[in-house]
Amino acid sequence: MNHSGKPRKYRTQRDYNLGFKLSVVSQVEKSEVTYKQAEKAYGILGRSTVLVWLGKHGTLDWTNPIDYQMPKPKETPAQKFKRLERELSNEKLKNKVLNTMIDISDRQYGTSIRKKYLPNRSNGSDNNKG
């Protein structure tokens, strides 16, 4: 209680038992909340208290906590599939552009990039084995 007779808004250090700490650590590591959100939600005063718990009781590497401040959104299998399809399509396009650039360079400038530096293309366009 504070001097006005009302209960304190924040917990004190002695209130943090191991079970509570492990629960907070688990929530943060499962990306249910950020460590800052946990501090606010549970009224944890210390700015690094939860980070200390994560370092001591957590299973992840918390040496650079800035990477862990925003929880990652949960992807449904359908969303993951669409994202992976999009990424594959982008990579195929990049590959096509790079191969076209190599072909143009070899043709226009007399370079032999593919012969010197790259393995033969798997689509059978290079028949100069030998």
Q: Which of 57, 72, 1 is nearest to 25 (CA)?
A: 57
- Provide the pLDDT for residue 130: 43
- Provide the pLDDT for residue 120: 59
With beta carbons less than 8 A apart as the criterion, state whether 105 and 113 touch: yes
CB-based contacts of 90: which residues, under 8 Å, 6+ apart? none
Look up tokens 């226009």; give the residue.
108
- Provide the pLDDT for residue 88: 95
- Provide the pLDDT for residue 100: 93
- Provide the pLDDT for residue 36: 86
- Provide the pLDDT for residue 119: 60
- Provide the pLDDT for residue 112: 84
Distance (Å, rounded) from C-alpha 8 to C-alpha 10?
6
Distance (Å, rounded) from C-alpha 61 to C-alpha 104?
46
Q: Where do the domains of the chain lie?
A: 13-68, 77-117
Distances (CA, A) of 65 to 33, 43, 71, 116: 13, 20, 12, 45
Low pLDDT (below 70) residues in the chain = 1-15, 62-73, 116-130
